[in-house]
């Protein structure tokens, strides 16, 4: 059961979903979202958003985030379910950004995101179905909070999957 454009659907699984995220860093909320998505789609494509940005809010480069995702996918034995990872750079034109995502993803049946301000609105405007899941413990698993904890020398590592904590730690140094 899932919500697509506010409607509950109890039918069959969708074939291919596109999940867009910044993964700055990848945390247990992302883990939850991917697993929920894979309960609704046969295959998942992941676009790493803001792939062309590196700043305080985006400390990890696209290659670093892709490597972290690949480690996670291998550890979770999802190689046959997550079929593609690609960079999705920011673009001042929302329409161009959506077209770039769709062109790189290929055939997709649904968009998976909780980003109401940008992703969901842009894709719904373009006529795509959007699958939404509630945030998982957002007060704990949020990239900004994790980055702030790391920046201030506080414990953040329990907020990311165990296999990723040492990898992310090395990148923070």
User: What is the per-residue pLDDT across 134-171, written as a single tens digit (0 to 9) for each?
Assistant: 766 777 778 888 888 888 989 999 999 999 999 988 88
Residue 51: pLDDT over 50: yes
| Residue 128: how many other CB atoms lie within 10 Å | 19
User: pTM of the predicted model, to two decimals?
Assistant: 0.87
Residues 6+ apart with CB under 8 A from 112: 17, 18, 19, 20, 33, 37, 41, 44, 130, 131, 133
Supply the DSSP string of 37-62, one letter for each residue. HHTTEEEEEEEEESTT--BTTB-S-H
Q: What pLDDT does 3 receive? A: 40
* Residue-level pLDDT at 12: 55
Domains of the chain, earliest start first: 2-172 (3.40.50.620)
Split at pLDDT 50, 70, 90, the class of 49 is very high
- Predicted local distance difference test score (pLDDT) of residue 99: 93
- pLDDT tens digits along 75-103: 999 999 999 999 999 998 989 999 999 99
Q: What is the mean pLDDT of the chain?
A: 86
Phi, psi of 83 (to 5 degrees): -95, -15
Which of 57-66, 122-131, 133-142 is predicted least confidently?
A: 133-142
CB neighbour list of residue 41: distance below 8 Å, 6 or more residues apart:
13, 14, 15, 16, 17, 109, 110, 112
């Amino acid at each position: 059961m899932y919500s697509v454009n506010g409607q509950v659907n109890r039918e069959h699984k969708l074939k291919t979903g596109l999940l867009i995220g910044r993964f700055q860093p990848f945390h247990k909320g992302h883990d939850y979202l991917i697993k929920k998505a894979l309960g609704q789609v046969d295959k998942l494509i992941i676009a790493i958003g803001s792939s062309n940005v590196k700043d305080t809010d985006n400390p990890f480069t696209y290659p670093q985030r892709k490597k972290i995702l690949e480690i996670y996918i291998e550890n979770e034995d999802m190689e046959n379910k997550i079929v593609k990872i690609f960079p999705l750079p920011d673009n001042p034109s929302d329409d161009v950004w959506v077209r770039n995502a769709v062109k790189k993803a290929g055939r997709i049946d649904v968009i998976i995101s909780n980003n109401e301000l940008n992703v969901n609105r842009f894709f719904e405007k373009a006529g795509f179905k959007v699958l939404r899941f509630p945030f998982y413990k957002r007060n704990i698993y949020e990239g900004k909070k994790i980055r702030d904890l790391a920046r201030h020398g506080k414990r953040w590592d329990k907020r990311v999957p165990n296999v990723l904590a040492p990898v992310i730690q090395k990148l923070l140094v």
